[in-house]
Amino acid sequence: MWPGGKPIIFFSILALVDAGDEVIYPNPGFPIYESMINYVGGKAVPIPLREERDFSLDVKELASLINDRTKLIILNSPHNPTGGVLTKKDILEIAEAIGDRKRHDSFGRNLQPPDLRGRRLLPSWSVPGFKERTIMLDGFSKTYAMTGWRMGYGVMRPDLALHISRLMTNSNSCTASFTQIAGIEALKGDQASVDKMSDEFRRRRDVFVAGLNKIKGFSCRMPKGAFYAFPNITKTGWPSKKLADALLDQAGVACLSGTAFGEYGEGYLRFSVANSLENLNKALTRIQEWVGKNLAVIQSLVVGRQPLAKAMLRTTNATRAGVDSSRYDTYRSSSARKFLLDRTRHNRPEGRQEFLQFLIWLGSPGLSDGP
């Protein structure tokens, strides 16, 4: 047990990746992967998750990235931020692509489609040799909406657990015992609420994605898992970060720029549907209205005429910055902040979803170079 899923990612990378080692990780992907690989001096090798594949991982492409320097492969399903999932077939093919290489570890986070609750997707563990080189990790944050309780767990080889536990002991000491007792209660208790919440998330996702697809310049694939929507916004002509900031500051709608999850996130926004249907509908209306006011001129020019659209956009933005500064300030000081506070409150009881991850360790079986 660790205080959250993140420390397991942090310590596993710290323990296993040396300077110059290559680590393959999903991009867009949870930001800690790339930051930690860079922090330890490793080489971050992105495996792009593409919209045209419904953000599923291209196993052939992954195979082409594996070489003698690859130390770790990071997988995440259902995937944050895209909602893509890995199928059992994908995982078996990944295991095959890795083959019997000695250097590799896989480090997995949350490999469970939301509609398969209770039936864990661990086929790679049945492939001879994989159990020893796979770290499976998950947490209580999403399934049991226990984000603030800080609880996560990693399943790994005992000798590796020894090293990672040492890093943990010398930093956080331990996971608080009373939260662990709450975690046991969550695991042993009636799981009906988890299934109920999964159904609720599906309902919200369907409404929100349908709503996004009605907004000019937005197009959104139906995510197969997770509680996120990851719309393509390239047809608005706006860069992701700028649009995310404008939606927060001017429309009072909080979302993240796709680029918060890596370079392949440009052209996308990430919305969470861990909020009430009422608020999600309100967000859709606000985006719709904002787009109506701010993107109408650009919209007709964007398709097929990018340079002109961009020039127009620059001019429009400059004009708006001058004309609308008072409105902008008002939103900044009241609506946007209030919205964020509300959102934080709403997030707590509703944030149920799993994010299993796998780290496939392609390293040597011995840990003599470890900490």
- Residue ranges binding ligand PLP (CB under 6 A): 4-6, 30, 76, 80, 109-110, 139, 141, 147, 152, 355, 357
Report the residue number, 82 or 294, with the smaller CB distance to ligand PLP.
82
Measured in residues, the chain has a length of: 371
Kindly give, in sequence order, each residue whose CB lies less than 8 Å from that of residue 199, ignoring residues fewer than 6 positions away: none
What's the min distance (Å) between Cβ of 174 and ligand PLP? 16
Residue 148 C-beta: closest distance to ligand PLP, Å: 9
Closer CB to ligand PLP, 114 or 237, in the complex? 114
Q: How far is the CB of 152 from ligand PLP (least distance, A)?
A: 4
Residue (240 or 353) nearer to ligand PLP, CB = 353
C-alpha–C-alpha distance, residues 226 and 68, integer Å: 33
Q: Which two tokens stand for residue 182?
A: 């709450």
Closest CB 36 distance from ligand PLP, rounded Å? 12
32 or 367, CB closer to ligand PLP? 32
Within 10 angstroms of residue 238's Cβ, the number of other Cβ atoms is 26
Give the nearest distance from C-beta 193 to ligand PLP in angstroms: 19
Phi-psi region of 144 (alpha: psi -120 to 50; beta: other; left: phi over 0): alpha
For ligand PLP, the closer of residues 264 and 331 by Cβ is: 264
Nearer Cβ to ligand PLP, position 152 or 239? 152
Rounded to the nearest whole angstrom, what is the least distance from the CB of residue 161 to ligand PLP in the complex?
18
Query: What element of type H or E holds 160?
Result: helix 158-169
Contact residues for 362 (Cβ-Cβ < 8 A; gap 6+): 66, 70, 71, 72, 73, 98, 101, 102, 103, 104, 105, 106, 133
Whether the Cβ atoms of residue 183 and residue 259 lie closer than 8 Å to each other = no
For ligand PLP, the closer CB: 187 or 311: 187
Which H helix or E strand runs over 164?
helix 158-169
Cα separation, 230 vs 200, in Å, equals 18
Within 8 A by CB and 6+ apart from 114, the residues are 78, 198, 201, 202, 225, 226, 353, 354
* Smallest distance, ligand PLP to C-beta of residue 32, A: 7
